[in-house]
Amino acid sequence: MPDGHDEPRQLFTLEEANQRLPLVRAIVRDIVTLFQDLHDRRERLNELRNRSQHSEYRDEVEQMERDLEGDIETLESYVVELKELGVALKDPLLGLVDFRTLADGREAYLCWKLGEDEISWWHELDSGFSDRRPIVELEEPVPTPSSGGDDTGNAST
């Protein structure tokens, strides 16, 4: 699903990212639930196809395929909604998202995973979840709106 291309370019302060978290959390929860459900139904559909090479379940299989297609479109709309918020979905199974930010004077990601109360982690642009580090380890704190952080791409809401 996430392909790394066409990622949001908006820069967030830690405060701004945490302010968006309630809405992001709700969308990501829906993504994780639907993604797992789609995976399970796709497996069941493949089992039905393999078990029955004949037409005994054809109508049921066709209906399942239509339902899957509709839910895939719904899932894609959730991902678009995150992008419109400036958030990049990194893993739809874990519920992992990144917010682009400035950290120690360079672009990086604030990293959040479903189940975490707030954003407490960051990582470099060219690394990922396994390399994330606590925000408190930054030499320079992530800028806040009042500290003159770069608001490139930020739209007032």
Q: 144 falls in which pLDDT band (50, 70, 90)?
A: low
DSSP category for residue 72: H
Q: Taking the mean position of all CA atoms in its chain, how far away is CA 72?
A: 15
pLDDT value at position 157? Answer: 36
Number of neighbours of residue 148 by Cβ within 10 angstroms: 8
Q: Which of 131, 68, 64 is nearest to 98 (CA)?
A: 131
Cα separation of 46 and 29, whole Å? Answer: 26
What six digits make up the tokens of 79?
């991902």
What six digits make up the tokens of 106?
């360079």
Cα separation of 75 and 78, whole Å? Answer: 5
User: For 55-69, 71-85, 117-131, 138-152, which range has the lowest pLDDT when averaged over its residues?
Assistant: 138-152
pLDDT value at position 49? Answer: 76
Per the CB < 8 A criterion, the answer to whether 122 and 132 are in contact is: yes
Which helix (DSSP H) or strand (DSSP E) does residue 137 occupy? none
Residue carrying structure tokens 């893993």: 91
* pLDDT reading at 147 higher than 50: no
What six digits make up the tokens of 59?
């109508």
* pLDDT reading at 153 higher than 50: no
